[in-house]
Amino acid sequence: MVDDDEPATPEELAAAAALARALDGGASAETAFDSGSQGGVDAQDLAAVGRLRAVAGREAPLGELRARALARAAVGEALGRRARSRRRHLVAASLAVAVAALLALRIIVLRPEPPSVLPDRLASRSAGLLVPGPFPSSQTEAQRLDAITADRLVAYRELRVRAVAGRAR
């Protein structure tokens, strides 16, 4: 029989035995679970035991080698995080530049033609095309205007003829 409390349940008996084994084998949460010897003892039970032993000075010290190893590992981890952070920033900046460049390229290269105000058939022709060759130097302004007007009338007549012929087909 056990304590003056309630009799131990089977679960309590198993847990008590597991705790005893854990203490005899060196109590730590990891070793208890690794050896499969939980039997109702959880990590918090072992942590409580560890706390009691640590305060009583029963836990082994960290040791100089382990201290140096942890310090070295911490420096390595901090440097690794810093490098990853820089890479992330570099990738983000490169992406932003690439997107901006693509947008600029699209704007410059693929710029659409401004729409025409007038259809082609109504766009005016250069006066330089109306009269073959340069105006003679002896020609007066009035004679030039007459030549241009005559050419425009001929062109108008051609347009009207083409339009009528197109409707007749």
Partner 1 sequence: MDVDAETAILENERRAIERARAGDPRALEPVLARHAEALYSSVILPRVGDRAQAEDLLKDTFVTAIEKIASFSWQGRSMYFWLRRIAANKVVDLHRQRGRSRRMVVALGGEAESAPPPAGVDDTLIAEEDRRRARARIAAAMVALPERYATAIRLRLVEERPREACAEAMGVTVGNFDVILFRAVRSFRKSYGPPSDEAPARGLEDG
The verdict on 46 binding partner 1 (CB under 8 A) reads: yes
Least distance in Å: CB of 48 to partner 1?
A: 5
Least distance in Å: CB of 16 to partner 1?
A: 4
Given 35, 54, 146, 159, the residue binding partner 1 (CB under 8 A) = 54
| Tokens matching residue 126 | 């250069």
DSSP 8-state class, residue 121: G
Using the minimum distance from each CB to partner 1, give the nearer residue, 69 or 92.
69
CB count, 10 Å around CB of 27?
21
Least distance in Å: CB of 105 to partner 1?
A: 38
d(CA 19, CA 46) in angstroms, rounded, equals 8
Least distance in Å: CB of 35 to partner 1?
A: 14
The verdict on 50 binding partner 1 (CB under 8 A) reads: yes
| Tokens matching residue 50 | 């560890």
Residues 6+ apart with CB under 8 A from 1: 7
Q: Which stretch binds partner 1 (CB under 8 A): 66-74, 134-142, 146-154, 160-168?
A: 66-74
The verdict on 37 binding partner 1 (CB under 8 A) reads: no
